[in-house]
Structures are given as structure tokens and as C-alpha cells.
Structure 1
């Protein structure tokens, strides 16, 4: 995560820390915010009725019935290109593209008409085998030098149908047969080692969605990976842990910036912290972990678990609450893990920020420890909510 700040900019910050700490702090904040706002545009395409819109909704963590959901149905509901921003990360946009091969969007003109240049990668969805138009599109995307991924949707429907029709039903065997059938079909069309991800839009934690995420994380440019990770729904505990690691890596930058911030004394403790910054960062944590009220409500709607049941496993007073300066100070006033002496003694241990920093204030040390404390607390809450939502 040290790649977060360009080496030349980092050198400027080191120099400013001695002569103009406030300017250094502002530069750090700008770098972190710009990195967080990196755009990620994902094209979701396939033939009509393949489940594109449901996939868009599932990725965004909302139910198909939600007011901001992409319209779904048993007939083609996407007739024009429609962008859907992630509710917590508007820099991440999923583009619900019309079915390829329709009169308005013929296969041979599809990429040009949809404006392929703006997309970072494409997800080609089919609810059966991948057909001629899917193959044509994949080959055109390949020519343009873009990445694409085959997703076989509605796997839950296939498994239910197989279970009803077989005496010795084996779900793993059925999944293997579906995957192999798709791969063989694509190989016949000239794709040497095609990867097909089996997905249920209603149960992203099952089947291959986590593998799709791992593949995207491996193949995306470094500056796009963070945007993808934060927008990714909490499909398993590993994603939650990865989000925690990404947030943890940024704390040192916020702590350095807080050295020149507006420090406010914490009631009952002989320390001061940059409360405004902590409020902003904790809001990022609750959104990323899906612990803000809106995210919890959407999770309740999509899983069928009552909102109050989800809240019942939360221990932190920050999760599911409006994050304000007063709330932050109230929570800090109730803990005794920070004292001025221990913070001063361990300052450089906790803040190895930009190399040699001459005058590190107590505020920055305290900010580091406070943010780490809140991050641990909220990550644990996120794990508990995940387990309750899935009935684990």
C-alpha cells in the first residue's frame, strides 16, 4: 500500500513536514482521497434474459425489488445502456448492457454502440451454454485488448431441476458437468483455456463468485484493485479480512495528516485526536464492512433475516449508527487503552509513515491507535453480521 503515494510526492511531503505541516497534511489527504475515488467501470453483457440485471443488483448488494435496482424479469428488460453506481462507492459503476444480438444492438456493431473504451473489463453472462453471439462478443473484446470473463448464471435453478429429476442427485457432480459442458463448448469455438464461473445471483457466497473475485483481483491493475475490493459484497470471511488489511494500510497516512489537524481532547484522557478525520474514516469503515444502516437494511431484504436480528450481534456502538464527532468522543471516553504516556513511548513504533519524520505530534500517534482500535472492532462486527445473515 506504500504505492498509494507517488515517490516524488512522498518526498515533497517529507520536506513540507518540517516547514509547513498543515500543507503536508493537506497533500496526504488529497492523495488518499484521490486513490479512493479511482473509477471502475464494469460492463455486464450477454443475451436477453440471461440474468444480467440480477447480477448487477447482487453485486451492488441490493434486492431486485429495491427502488434503485436494475429492472429484472423473464423477458428482456434492458433495452438501453444503463449505468448503476454502487450505493456506497459511486466511483464503481456496473453498466447493464442490452442483450447482444438484438435488432438495436447487432453483434457485429455491439462494442462500438456500447462504447467499449470506457469499460475496465466485461462480464459475459449466460443462463445456459454460451451461444454464437457470446462467442463473437468475446472475440471482439479480445481484439480490443480488454479483459472478459464468462459467468454461467442461475446455477441454483439448474441444481433444483436436477435434484427433482435424479434419484442419486450429487450437487458437486452436477456443477462439474455444467462447468465442463460450458468449457468444452467454448474450446470448440477457439478459446484455448476458457474459465467459466458458476454463479447464483441470490447466493453469491456459494459456487464460483469468490473465485471470480480472486481472478479479478489478480488480473486488475493495482490502482483498480482497491476500488473493486471495497465495493465487493461480503461474500465470505476472507473478503472481510482483505478489506480490513486494506483499511489498516491507510491508517499511517491519516495519522501523519492528523499531526497538523484540529485536535480535540478526549474526555477523561490526557490525549487529543483529530476528531473530524476519525469521523470521516470510520464512515469509510462502516460502509466498507456493510455496517451502516442502509447496508444492513439491504442485507436484511436480500437474505430474509430481520434487520433487528442482524443488529443483535453487533457489539460496537459505531455500527448501525450515525457517525458524529460526539459519538466518537463518547466511545473514546469509555475506553482506557490510550494514555498520553504510552502513546508518546510507542509513537514511532505505531507510525512508520513516510520514512524519517522529525516532529511527530501526540495527536498523530493517538489517531493511529484510535483508528486501529475502531477498525478491529468493526471488522469483528462485520464477521458476526455475515455469519448471522447466512445462518452460520
Structure 2
């Protein structure tokens, strides 16, 4: 029954987000064959070339470095000791996509970076920052208001970020004589104080959010909302795709997983169109080579995009001071219990295991090593699936009379949609597991030898939700 429901969900997804109209328009524009195949390859890789510069502005010791690390997902920016001042602009290219750079930019001061000519001094006209993160660990000064006003004149977007909210809450709870005060009261008070201070500078706080964050736990307070808003408010679809698949590859909550899932569903259609194009190119063996290459490339992209690769998981554990292997162990336990094929990728690493896993029911190796006649018979067997058959019937009138193209589209669409849904579910679990783990940090269970039972408890609590 569960398999039938999943199959139907895959079929239903073909009619979502104007997919049918997109397929029809694309085929009319490029036809079938090499032109369509080449265009779909370009469309799927465009995001990797998108240049994005993000300025993180603030004085020294305001939490800029830890914020940069939290967004990159690795400890790249040195968290400086007390007394060290930020006087130089430092660039941090994302290790997985150097076209996206975060810049540590000094705030306004009386010596090196005065208001006069500030944007020239911070290299705005050289680097052309796409948007700005204005950071403080206390309240926003009149200088922050000046910077925000100037950014608006440049028609750029900015985000007001108040770091160290966790330290503020802890201190106030310890110092307060009022034992009825709780965390939500302190958060509301801090937010109101910041608004009042900005309003005293004639800053319209009704138009802009104030994000209260804990850089040591990206699941708490406003951090997930900050990352979601940054991605949603991109100036173009290509910029959003680049951010979601690069910076958004880390865990920032289930809403970000949903955003990535919707984005990646569009890639499924483009990859399926490339498969359809390969199905009519009259070169022996070309179609199956295209299909296997597409499956490998796309699945690796989805895997990295959801932050499920071994390197991504290890970086996440290191950034959050979680014992190495904790998240991977939890994922393996869940996948083994569900008898999920993704277990092979989590266990062995994506590049090593994909050749043994990419096809439905682990058929890729036998397909790749078969003759053309055997390949066609196996594809025909896959096409008897109700989900593939229905997709084939829907797409054939659009693609035309080339049955091989229609079958290639349907099989690729089904396989990638199925795998994408599986990865989304695992990413949701990984987010929930890490979030609950960090929330229990006070018990230090991740640092003890008793983590097995605690991990089981967290997994059980996620199942009960």
C-alpha cells in the first residue's frame, strides 16, 4: 500500500508547478535531439556560475565570524579573541562553490572606517555586494542605521541580525530575581528594545525584521527564518538556486528542506527532458549512457543539496561540536530499520556506491553491462510500473510520436522523483535529529559513552511526531 501511495505521489508531481506547460514549451522551442539535450545540460548547471557576494558588516567581537561559519557550515572564519579589532576586509569563498563569497566587513569607527566614503572603503564598488548582513551583539547604533539607509539608496537588501541571544537569555535568567520570567519574555524584551532604539533614529522598523540568533545552534530562535528569507528574497531564480544548493546545503530546519525539495523537483523535469532527447539521438548506446550519467549527476546534486554527503555531515558535526559519527550513526540506524536503499550511500559515500544503486531495485549495474536489446527489454519492464506508464501517457502527446523519447522521459522522471522524495525524508530526519540533539546539549549526552540510548530516544521521539 505504501509503495502504491508513493508511486501515485510521483505521478501527481508531473502536473504540479506548470510542469506539463514547461515540457510542451521547451520541446516546441528546441525540438528533440542534440539541441534539447545540450540546452537542458546548460540549464541544470547555470547556478554553479552565479557570482554572489555577501557582506557581513559589524564591529569586532559582534559574532560575525561565527555567523559566517554557521552559514558556510564549516569553521573557516577565525573567531577572534577579545581585544582584536576588525580593520581588514576578509573574504571567505564557500568551499563547495567559490563563486559564493562571504565578506567580513568592518563597521563604522572613528579611525579607519568613517561614514564619509564608507562604501568606497569597504570595496562595495569593487565587489558589488549582492546583499548585507548588519550584525551586532547588543543594540543597533546610529551608524548601523546610517549603513542601512545607504544600502537602501543602492537598491540592495539587508538583514538586521542580533547575535548572542542565547548568552543574553542565560545571563538574565541567572540575574533576575523574578523567578516567573522565562525565555520567551526575554526574547520579546530584547526585540522590543532594539526596535525602540532604531525608532529613536527615525528608522522604520515596520518594514524590516530583526533576527535574533544563536550562532552555535542554527535551529534556535530566528536563524532558520533568516536563512529562509535570504533564499526566498533573491533577486532572481538563478541566485536562489545557487544559495539553496550551496549555503542552504547545511541543516537550517525543515522549511529549508522544503524549499530545496521544490527547487530540485524542477531539475527532475530538466533531466528527464535531456533523457528524452538522448532517446532519439541515432548513436548506438547513447541513450543508456545519457540515462545513467543523468541519474548519477542528479542524485549526487540532490545528495549534496540536502547536506547528506559524508563530508557535509562531518562538517556539521564539527561546527556544532557534536561527536564525529553521531549523525551518520543515527541515519544508518533509521535507514537500516526501513530497509532503505539510501543506506548504501550513507555507509559507503555517494561516489563509491552510486554505480550499485542508481537504478530501481538496484538494476543499474546489470543494465549498464547489457546489450542494447537487453537494455530495451529492461526499460520496457520498468515501464510496466503504473507510475511510469501514466507519466508516459501524459508526456507522449507533448514529446510527439517518438516512443523511445517518451519512455526515456517517463523512466528518468519516475526514478529521480522517487529518489528525491526519499532524500527529502532523510534530510527532514537529519534536521530533526540534530535539532533535538542540540536542544539536549545541557545533558552532554553527545559527549558521553552513553550516546547509544540517547540516540535511540531521539529517533523514537521523531517517529512519534
1:100 positional shift: 2.6
Q: Tell me the distance in 1 between the aligned counterparts of 2:259 and 2:140.
A: 33
Tell whether the 8 Å contact from 1:25 to 1:258 is kept in structure 2 after alignment: yes
Q: Does 1:24 align with 2:36?
A: yes
1:91 counterpart SS class: strand
Q: Tell me the distance in 1 between the aligned counterparts of 2:85 and 2:38.
A: 46
Name the counterpart of 1:388.
433
Match of 1:242 among 256, 259, 273: 259
Q: Does 1:84 align with 2:92?
A: yes
Q: Does 1:225 align with 2:223?
A: no
Matches within 5 A, 1:1-392: 14-18=28-32, 21-62=33-74, 66=75, 68-76=76-84, 78-101=86-109, 103-117=111-125, 118-167=128-177, 168=179, 169-193=181-205, 194-223=208-237, 224-230=239-245, 231-232=247-248, 233-261=250-278, 274-314=291-331, 315=335, 316=342, 317-319=344-346, 321-324=348-351, 327-332=354-359, 334-335=361-362, 339-342=382-385, 345-348=389-392, 356-358=398-400, 359=402, 360-390=405-435, 391=437, 392=458
The unaligned stretches of length 5 or more in structure 2 are 1-15, 281-287, 336-341, 364-378, 438-457, 459-465
Name the counterpart of 1:266.
none
2:69 counterpart SS class: helix
1:349 positional shift: 5.6
1:323 positional shift: 3.1
The CA deviation string for residues 316-342 of structure 1, in whole angstroms up to 9 with x for no partner, is 122364434863444536358971333
Tell whether the 8 Å contact from 1:305 to 1:389 is kept in structure 2 after alignment: no
Number of residue pairs matched?
374
1:114 positional shift: 1.8
The CA deviation string for residues 157-197 of structure 1, in whole angstroms up to 9 with x for no partner, is 11111111013231111111111111111111111224311
* Higher mean displacement: 95-104 or 316-325: 316-325
Tell whether the 8 Å contact from 1:319 to 1:378 is kept in structure 2 after alignment: no
Tell whether the 8 Å contact from 2:317 to 2:323 is kept in structure 1 after alignment: yes
The CA deviation string for residues 263-317 of structure 1, in whole angstroms up to 9 with x for no partner, is 9xxxxxxx98711121111111111111111111111112333333211232212
Q: Tell me the distance in 2 between the aligned counterparts of 1:262 and 1:322.
A: 30
Q: Tell me the distance in 1 between the aligned counterparts of 2:235 and 2:393.
A: 31
From the two aligned structures, give the one with the greater helix fraction: 2
Q: Bigger radius of gyration, 1 or 2?
A: 2
User: Does the C-alpha gap of structure 1 residues 242 and 16 become closer, same or farther in structure 2, counting only changes over 3 Å?
Assistant: closer
Tell whether the 8 Å contact from 1:13 to 1:24 is kept in structure 2 after alignment: yes
Tell whether the 8 Å contact from 2:161 to 2:212 is kept in structure 1 after alignment: yes
1:307 counterpart SS class: coil
1:11 positional shift: 5.7
Tell whether the 8 Å contact from 2:268 to 2:413 is kept in structure 1 after alignment: yes
The CA deviation string for residues 240-274 of structure 1, in whole angstroms up to 9 with x for no partner, is 122112111220110110224499xxxxxxx9871
Name the counterpart of 2:455.
none
* Higher mean displacement: 372-381 or 343-352: 343-352
1:209 positional shift: 1.7
* Higher mean displacement: 171-180 or 72-81: 72-81
Q: Tell me the distance in 1 between the aligned counterparts of 2:326 and 2:352.
A: 27
Q: Tell me the distance in 1 between the aligned counterparts of 2:26 and 2:416.
A: 25
TM-score, normalised to structure 1, is 0.85
1:49 positional shift: 1.6
1:97 counterpart SS class: strand
TM-score, normalised to structure 2, is 0.72
Q: Tell me the distance in 2 between the aligned counterparts of 1:17 and 1:321.
A: 40
Tell whether the 8 Å contact from 1:272 to 1:363 is kept in structure 2 after alignment: no
- List, as ranges, runs of 4+ consecutive aligned residues in structure 1 with deviation greater than 4 Å: 1-4, 9-13, 335-338, 349-352
